[in-house]
């Protein structure tokens, strides 16, 4: 149906999930599988996955919500399982675009995938028309052992992929983009949490978790007492700090 094969991720503990239509799917899609939420995050970021089918007969159904939060509507999510009213409702609550009953005709899943691909293509075309001369952000921002890929929502630390939450990613990107600048807690509340009702203590807790996730920040991300935080580059070798 398409000249190029769109990458499709199947998320399930069960390696035989959708195996009955595997050959049919492979005619149109480049199939990859993930048996954990962590692997799913990695593949979507690294392999440019656009569509995912989630097994709703396994605990991995709960991966839908964090995937939607992390990648927005840049990916299409379909839940699939033995349909019941409660399961269908849960699929939409968790952020799925559609739910397909595995007891039905396999053609319905194919049509749902085709429809989602078309939607993603139209959304991309509309965004291009709205800002035809929009400059792409930097492909990579590097500071010491930390590398951020803003377009891909991806973080590397010492060449290893670091799995961050959306909030942690925004915090890290803000500190590195504004290194050696004081970011007050009020600024963070406005720009990271979009003026939501979050306490300064909660902001401190989020930053503490970010430091534990990326040890290099433990000395360089400084708490300016009573004011906010500053990412100091003085503790990072100038040979290692650059932006590309």
CATH of the domain at 66: 3.40.50.2300
Nearest to 171 by CA among 226, 227, 228: 228
| Per-residue model confidence as pLDDT tens digits over 107-164 | 788 888 988 888 877 765 554 444 444 444 446 888 888 999 887 778 999 888 888 8
Are residue 153 and residue 53 in the same domain, yes or no?
no
Are residue 124 and residue 212 in the same domain, yes or no?
no
Report how far residue 87's alpha carbon sits from residue 76's, in angstroms, rounded to the nearest whole number.
Answer: 18
Report how far residue 27's alpha carbon sits from residue 11's, in angstroms, rounded to the nearest whole number.
Answer: 19
Secondary structure letter of residue 134 according to DSSP: P
Give the pair of three-digit tokens for residue 33: 């599988």
Report how far residue 57's alpha carbon sits from residue 12's, in angstroms, rounded to the nearest whole number.
Answer: 9
Are residue 90 and residue 206 in the same domain, yes or no?
no
Helix (H, G, I), strand (E, B) or coil at 15: coil
**For every one of its 244 residues, what pLDDT tens digit does the chain have, with 9 covering 90 and above?**
344 678 899 999 988 888 888 888 888 888 999 999 888 988 888 777 889 999 998 889 999 988 888 888 788 999 998 867 788 888 898 989 889 887 666 778 888 898 888 887 776 555 444 444 444 444 688 888 899 988 777 899 988 888 888 888 889 999 998 888 999 999 999 888 877 788 888 999 999 999 999 998 988 999 998 889 999 887 665 444 444 4
Nearest to 64 by CA among 11, 102, 139: 11
Are residue 11 and residue 52 in the same domain, yes or no?
yes
Final residue in a domain of this structure, among 75, 109, 130:
130
Are residue 103 and residue 11 in the same domain, yes or no?
yes
CATH of the domain at 220: 1.10.10.10
Are residue 109 and residue 43 in the same domain, yes or no?
yes
How many domains, the chain?
2
Final residue in a domain of this structure, among 77, 106, 130:
130
The pTM of the whole model exceeds 0.85 = no
Are residue 119 and residue 10 in the same domain, yes or no?
yes
Secondary structure letter of residue 197 according to DSSP: S
Q: Is 136 inside any structural domain?
A: no
Q: Is 135 inside any structural domain?
A: no
Range of the domain at 219: 141-243
Final residue in a domain of this structure, among 97, 130, 163:
130
Helices (H) and strands (E) in the chain, counts: 9, 13
């Amino acid at each position: 149906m398409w000249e190029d094969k769109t990458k499709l991720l199947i998320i399930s503990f069960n390696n035989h999930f959708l195996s009955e239509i595997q050959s049919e799917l492979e005619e149109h899609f480049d199939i990859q599988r993930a048996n954990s939420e962590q692997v799913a995050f990695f593949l979507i970021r690294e392999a440019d996955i656009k569509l995912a089918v989630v097994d709703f007969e396994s605990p991995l159904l709960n991966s839908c919500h964090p995937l939607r939060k992390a990648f927005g509507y840049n990916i299409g999510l379909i839940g699939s399982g033995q349909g019941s009213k409660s399961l269908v409702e849960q699929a939409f609550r968790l952020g799925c675009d559609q739910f397909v009953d595995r007891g039905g005709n396999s053609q319905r899943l194919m049509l749902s995938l085709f429809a989602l691909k078309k939607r993603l293509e139209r959304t991309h075309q509309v965004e291009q028309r709205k800002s035809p001369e929009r400059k792409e952000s930097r492909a990579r921002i590097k500071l010491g052992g930390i590398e951020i890929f803003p377009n891909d929502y991806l973080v590397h630390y010492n060449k290893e992929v670091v799995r961050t939450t959306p909030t942690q990613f925004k915090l890290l990107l803000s500190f590195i983009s504004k290194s050696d600048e004081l970011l007050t807690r009020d600024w963070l509340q406005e720009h990271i949490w979009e003026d939501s009702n979050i306490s300064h203590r909660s902001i401190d807790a989020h930053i503490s978790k970010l430091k534990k996730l990326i040890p290099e920040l433990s000395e360089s991300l400084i708490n300016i007492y009573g004011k906010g935080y500053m990412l100091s580059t003085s503790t990072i070798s100038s040979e290692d700090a650059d932006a590309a």
